Chain A
Amino acid sequence: MSIRILAALAIATAGAVVSSTAAAISPAELQTSLAAEARQADPAFREFSAQRGETFYRAKHGGDWSCSTCHTDNPAMPGNHAVTNKAVKPLAPAANPDRFTNPEKVAKWFKRNCNDVLKRACTAQEKGDLVAWLLTVKP
């Protein structure tokens, strides 16, 4: 029966989901891999700057949105979705320990949100600067 084919399809999808769920990492481990990526892009790369990260977070980058449009001026506070007005959980790890612990989720949301704000992908330098600053934000 076609029901059996669909059950197989559902199991295959569930399997793909489970196998794609990577192990949790710490934001520090994320920074290590972003640093390696930044060094590969630019051999002159030294370190990430929290100050540059804050400037990046608040800037509009030529468009009408900044990171703070949804995540608010204080990323330790809950935000508001600019279109749906739905609550967005705090972005700073000190206020929300789940942030920056799932590499796939980090990659997915940087891709989406960088396109929304900058209309391009973010560089490893930009991502690392931003995370460096977010790690200094206290609730």
Chain B
Amino acid sequence: MNRILVWDIPTRIFHWTLALSFSVAFLTAESERWRDIHVYGGYLALGMIGFRLLWGVIGSHHARFANFVRGPAAVIRYLRSLISDQPEHHVGHNPAGALAIVALLVLGLGTGISGWMILNEIGGDVFEELHEGLANTMLAVVIIHILGVIVSSRLHRENLVGAMITGYKNGHDDV
């Protein structure tokens, strides 16, 4: 076991900036008094997601989608292993975490684009409903993601939150 750099700086900055911008946009959604801050939060989230989609292709090993996005069979196998004696361990994103990442990117993109359409009065009332529905679904996935981080950190005896701050994890670098 070595201390190895798993998350590069752009991935970490992206993660926490997206978390912050989504929180700000969600918390300022219900009042016209915060409408400008809400919109800035949305633009920041959209910019971050745009960057992450690019970084998922050109970033360092563990940031690239090809190296962590897996099909449903891998997700089910991983989740099953969590209740067994030998939980599967992944140095990079685990398959369930990867699914949460893809869902959050797609939901964030949809929420941001529908919000921009409402702001510019393109497309009508149905986008207000869609914007709220997508944002609420995104919050649900965020909660599942956080619960997953807690469960995985305990089962694998590693600090995943710390790793997303420092970038380092303990593991065998199989890259």
Q: A5-B103, A84-B36, A116-B32 are in contact. List 18 more A-B contacts (CB 8 A).
A: A2-B70, A2-B103, A5-B72, A5-B99, A9-B103, A9-B107, A13-B137, A16-B133, A17-B126, A21-B129, A82-B32, A83-B32, A105-B128, A112-B32, A113-B32, A115-B30, A116-B31, A116-B33
Residues on B with beta carbons closer than 8 Å to the beta carbon of A105 = 125, 128
Is B69 in the interface zone, CB < 8 Å from A?
A: yes
Closest residue of A by beta carbon distance from B37: A83
Chain A interface residue count, Cβ-Cβ cutoff 8 angstroms: 26
Contact with B along A1-29 (1 / 0, CB 8 A): 11011100110011011001100000000
Give B residues with C-beta under 8 Å from A.
Answer: 30-36, 39, 69-72, 75, 98-99, 102-103, 106-107, 110, 119, 125-126, 128-130, 133-134, 137
- Assuming A83-B36, A116-B31, A116-B32, is B69 touching A2 (CB within 8 A)? yes
Provide the bound-state CA to CA distance between A101 and B34, in Å: 27
27 CB < 8 A contacts A-B = A1-B71, A2-B69, A2-B75, A2-B98, A2-B103, A4-B72, A5-B103, A6-B103, A9-B103, A13-B130, A13-B133, A14-B130, A16-B129, A17-B129, A17-B130, A70-B32, A81-B32, A83-B33, A83-B35, A83-B36, A84-B36, A86-B119, A102-B125, A105-B125, A105-B128, A108-B128, A112-B31
